[in-house]
Amino acid sequence: MSDSRAGTEVAERHDAGEPGAAAPAVRVRGLVKRYGRVRAVDGLDLDVPAGAVFGLIGPNGAGKTTTMLAISTLLDPDAGAVEVFGHDPVRQRRAVRRLIGWMPDFFGLYEGLSCAEYLDFFGAAYGLPGPLRRRQTADLLELVELTGKRDTDVAGLSRGMQQRLGLARTLVHDPRLLVLDEPASGLDPRARVDLREIVRELARQGKTILISSHILAELGELCDRVAIIEAGRMLAQGTAAEIRQAASATVAVRARLLGGEESQRRAVAVAAEAGASAVRTEPDGTLHAELPGGQDEAADLLAALVGAGVRVVAFDEAHGGLEELFLSVTKGVVR
Amino acid sequence: MTDVPAPGGARTAPAAPPRPRRRVRVNPVLRRELLERWRSRRAVMTLTIYLAVLGGIGYLLYRVGVAVLTAGFGQELDGAIAGPLLGRFLLEGLLFFVLLLVLFVSPAYAAAQLSGERERRTLPLLQVTLLRPSQIVLGKLGAATAWLGLLVVAVVPIGAGAFFLGGVAPGDLLRGVALVLAVAVGVAGMALGVSAVTRRTTGAVVCTYALVLALVGGSGFLAGVEYLLRARDGGLDRERPPVVLYANPLFGLADATRASRASDMFGFGFGGGLPSPLGVIAEALPAAGGSDALRMDARVELMDPTIGGFVVPEPVGGDVERERKPVWLIVAGVHLALGLIGVGVATRRLRHVEPGGRRGRRRRRRGAGRAGGS
């Protein structure tokens, strides 16, 4: 098979996924998966837009891995429907497998193979012809910064390097969707930063990335959208701001004021007038308040403060990161 | 950082499309297995030690044969008579050893193939690729039998040493090797089937050994019972061996090598003159076949001084040969069929993928909400 022809064939294989090009990357409706009497996933709905970096968060046993396995064709749901770019992972396994790259929370070691051979093997398993495999191997090793370890036995790599090689493995057939299950698990901070940078780079290239992690601060930095699941059920999904707003009837705001105590007293009065609760000031001139409602009410308060002659130099929503959001949304349900 | 390369991405089209070349696509799983195992220092050491042991066994058989014949003759051996006896003793002994080795090694080696992938958690990584379950299983089967095949084929040069002594035809060696290879493939296939349904490598190995024991010992035992019943009901029918024996690889090897029967009287009270390890089971071969047909005729040829040391003990009675049942082919077929069933079971099992399988599901049931994946 010639190189150009091989390339055409691979391109054709990619085209096989095109009917679903307009569809969201992942659409899950009413997904149910039971393990014995336990419902690991219980009527889950999920929408991952194409091109998004989507975080799947939830406590242990929430159903994240099960959901990811169902999306990755590795688990047949008991009920419900899953679509990956319009393809059914149960009935169109091969079409879905061409479109996804699945990275589990374990590496899967083949002792005795070098990094290059490891990637070459998985390239062959995806049906890539030899010359293309060799090019992919070189490029992917460069992407995950393992070119220098090309001929090193995979067993001799550090955990972080193994994770990066695992990520390269998921990319070997150029999938459109990456399903990364706890990719940063067990990595030291440096390795986590490296991995995060690679994921960012992939997102920049337009890959859709579905990622689960326990390190919520990192997910917060990476993800456009998140879904919070607990006990197999979807609690919330959307952008962090949308979830926060949906999860709470109040909005916490924080304002930096100039003008000393007088200005602060006036600001407290204005806030109280606007119906804010838990109003307090700090010696550095920061005002904290919780307003009933959402961003509209926050904007109204800012206007009222300025209208009352309070000099405001900074005004924003005061919220914690994804971790705080996660804690506020989940209930700690354990099955 | 570079962009993730898109297969078939930017590439300049050649002026004239190159003529497509046909390339043999090696099963990726087989290729990886061969890379992983065959180039290791351990493989070289194993093969070296194996060949040394095989050579040692050949020499030992020769020395034992010489000692027994010397004791039987009570005088110095006549090379024209003793050579062929030693040749047959050597061939049957070597192939018997290699068959036992295959029956011992194959379960341990092949049964670890799929369960080993599961234990090191690489099986779902394979399943999520575009490899079909049958490709994975056949790759594994190829890997298991390639190594065993090498061990079996390695016996040929040493077994061919028997030709210099006489009493052995090239066909005896080739049929014997072919039978052992078929048994190796069959047992490996069965082991893969067992490996696909068991969770642990240890369990897979033990179950496969039990299967092999049933094929060798169980069939022999059942055949013995049938013979006892036949004897009670009015005599033995040597034309019709018990059907279960066709599952016994030793029975097939006895036929493939035309092994001497234990009851053959060749002057010393041993089958073919020396105690063949296949002598007892060769007794069950159909009367028209095996060494029965060639025994007396071959005896004449073996002693023909014009032939010298290289004797072809083919049956002389043409009528008898036509009636001969290809027992070894049937035995080989039975083993290949059992292996095929094993491959089918493994393929079917891999089609339904649930990483972690039953153990994983149990763990999830227990640990849902506690630890580990969700």
ipTM metric: 0.76
Maximum Cα–Cα distance for chain A, whole Å?
Answer: 82
Dist CA A166 CA A109 (whole Å): 10
Of A238, A258, A292, which closes a domain? A238
Considering only the beta carbons, identify the residue of A35, A72, A173 that sits closest to B361: A35
Is A192 found in the same domain as A86? yes
Q: How far is A270 from chain B (nearest CA, A)?
A: 47
pLDDT in tens, B319-372: 444 456 788 999 999 999 999 999 999 999 887 665 544 444 444 444 444 434
pLDDT greater than 60 at residue B318: no
Is A152 found in the same domain as A22? yes
DSSP B20: P
Helix residue spans in B74-169 (DSSP H): 79-119, 123-127, 133-153, 155-159, 161-165
Q: How far is A300 from chain B (nearest CA, A)?
A: 43
Is A194 found in the same domain as A142? yes
- The helix (run of H) or strand (run of E) holding residue A167 is helix A159-171
Cβ B216 vs Cβ B365: under 8 Å: no
Among the listed residues A221, A185, A292, A186, the one whose alpha carbon sits nearest the alpha carbon of residue A53 = A221
Q: Does B356 touch chain A (CB under 8 A)?
A: no
Q: How many domains is chain A built from?
A: 2
Helix (H, G, I), strand (E, B) or coil at A160: helix
Q: How far is Cα of residue A93 from the mean position of the Cα atoms in its chain?
A: 23
Mean pLDDT, chain A cut into blocks of 10 residues (335 residues total): 39 43 81 88 91 88 90 92 93 93 86 91 92 93 92 90 91 94 82 84 91 76 85 83 69 86 89 86 87 82 90 82 67 59
Q: How far is A158 from chain B (nearest CA, A)?
A: 17
Is A227 found in the same domain as A199? yes
In this complex, do B352 and A76 lie within 8 Å of one another by their Cβ atoms? yes
Is A57 found in the same domain as A25? yes
pLDDT in tens, A111-129: 889 999 999 999 999 999 9
Q: Is residue A332 part of a domain?
A: no
Locate the chain A residue with the closest alpha carbon to B2: A143
Q: How far is Cα of residue B348 from the mean position of the Cα atoms in its chain?
A: 25
A208-212 sheet: strands from edge to edge: A100-103, A177-181, A208-212, A53-57, A225-230, A233-238
For the entire predicted model, the pTM comes to 0.75
B-chain residues within 8 Å CB-CB of A8? 8
B-chain residues within 8 Å CB-CB of A72? 128
Is A28 found in the same domain as A63? yes
Q: What share of chain B is helix, strand, coil (3-state, %, to 5)?
A: 70, 0, 30
In this complex, do B28 and A231 lie within 8 Å of one another by their Cβ atoms? no
Is A268 found in the same domain as A183? no
Dist CA A196 CA A312 (whole Å): 36
Question: Within the 122-161 window of chain B, which residues sit less than 8 Å (CB to CB) from chain A?
Answer: 122, 124-131
Q: Is residue A135 part of a domain?
A: yes
Is A179 found in the same domain as A260? no
Is A173 found in the same domain as A32? yes
Is A116 found in the same domain as A52? yes
Q: What is the CATH number of the domain that holds A170?
A: 3.40.50.300
Of A205, A238, A271, which closes a domain? A238
Name the residue range of residue A91's domain: 3-238
Q: Is residue A269 part of a domain?
A: yes
pLDDT in tens, A20-55: 445 689 999 999 999 888 888 989 999 999 999 999
Is A138 found in the same domain as A20? yes
Helix (H, G, I), strand (E, B) or coil at A143: helix
Among the listed residues B102, B282, B72, the one whose alpha carbon sits nearest the alpha carbon of residue B183 = B102
Q: Is residue A195 part of a domain?
A: yes
In this complex, do A8 and B8 lie within 8 Å of one another by their Cβ atoms? yes
Given the structure tokens 């060696």, which residue do they identify?
B173
Of A238, A256, A281, which closes a domain? A238
Q: What is the CATH number of the domain that holds A279?
A: 3.30.70.1070
